[in-house]
Structure 1
Amino acid sequence: MKTMFTGGIKSGKSRLAEAYILEQSVGGKPYYLATTEFIDEGMRERIDAHRERRQDTFVTIEEPVKLLAALQQCPGPVLVECISMWLNNRLFHGVSVADILAELDAAMQVPCDMVLVLNEVGLGIIPDNPLARQYVDLSGKAAQLIAAHCERVFFCSAGLKLQMK
């Protein structure tokens, strides 16, 4: 089964997604595919907080760029945390939007249970610079692609989840 958790920054989506996959993974540790690259001290603090929260309840794979290859190494349920950072990383490394979406579509075909976390970035104003607009547009397309492949989709806000699908 494939499930997506989406919501704003600090909406609780990561914590809720972690609890969800742990409930679904009876009899073994799920995989945790961490996609964030160390950019600055602020990102390091966020990553450290996630590491501390999950401790040893997951088998962690850190892969910021090669999503499909990493997912193909996961024989069991996997939490992808998070697609938003993976999109950012791919744009930063100069990958075209078409190639990013093609890899994401291929990743969604991997035959394992998957929980994907994605920031909802399209609820605000249209950004004032081209790169930010490209990212918002890409994120919206990615969300639609993922949701089309998922049996369940949850929107998160204030630490609560609302099932959309």
Structure 2
Amino acid sequence: MKALFIGGIKSGKSINAQNYILKLSSSKPCYLATTEFIDAGMKERIKEHKKNRRDKFNTIEESLKIYETIKANKTSVLVECVSMWINNMFHHGFDIEDMKKELFRVLGLDKTIVFVLNDVGSGIIADNKLARDFVDASGILSQLIAQNCDEVYHTIAGISTRIK
């Protein structure tokens, strides 16, 4: 079983994805945290996410090599979040083809995986190449994930609606 929760920032997708995987899992699921500590503001966001999940998850922090991490884990996995992983991959010199290869490997695993992804493609076309590359990669990779998931949920105002 694979599922994607996609929505805007602070839409409620993370908490809904957490509740979803907890209902699916017969044992404590893995929370794969992809965010790298960037600044004080990011530290506060990470603190909030840790508070929300309390001791309900086994947390593993991995910002790049998600395939190996997920493969090695014996339980269901919540990937939080794909958007930060894309950011990390670009920051460390990887390109969209590298990301596709890694995600194809992840999607080929026979295990329950729930992905969380920011929907960043509904705004204007950015004025700089890096931002445009990020939005394009996010859109392309969200399509790839959604096509290979059993279920896809769009979240807005804390409500996740199944769209697939």
Range into which the TM-score falls when normalised by the shorter chain = over 0.9
Residue identity opposite 1:13 in structure 2:
K
Residue identity opposite 2:4 in structure 1:
M
TM superposition shift of 1:15: 0.3
Asked whether 1:50 is paired with 2:49, we answer yes
Residue 109 of structure 1 corresponds to: 108
Counterpart Cα distance in 2 of 1:8 and 1:113 = 24
Q: Determine helix, strand or coil for the equivalent of 1:19.
A: helix
Residue 15 of structure 1 corresponds to: 15
TM superposition shift of 1:140: 0.3
Counterpart Cα distance in 2 of 1:73 and 1:55 = 23
- Segments of structure 2 that go 5 or more residues without pairing to the other structure are none
Q: Determine helix, strand or coil for the equivalent of 1:72.
A: helix
Matched positions, count:
164
Residue 159 of structure 1 corresponds to: 158
What CA deviation, in whole Å up to 9, does each residue of 1:115-156 have, x standing for no partner?
000000000111110000000000001100000110000000
- Segments of structure 1 that go 5 or more residues without pairing to the other structure are none
Structure 1-normalised TM-score? Answer: 0.98
Residue identity opposite 2:97 in structure 1:
A
Counterpart Cα distance in 1 of 2:123 and 2:104 = 26
Counterpart Cα distance in 2 of 1:94 and 1:50 = 27
TM superposition shift of 1:73: 1.4
Residue identity opposite 2:49 in structure 1:
H
Identity over aligned pairs, percent: 51
Give the RMSD, CA atoms, in angstroms. 0.7
Structure 2-normalised TM-score? Answer: 0.98
TM superposition shift of 1:52: 1.1
Off by >6 Å, runs of 4+ in structure 1? none
Residue identity opposite 2:55 in structure 1:
D
Q: Which moved more, 1:70-79 or 1:128-137?
A: 70-79
Q: Which moved more, 1:92-101 or 1:133-142?
A: 92-101
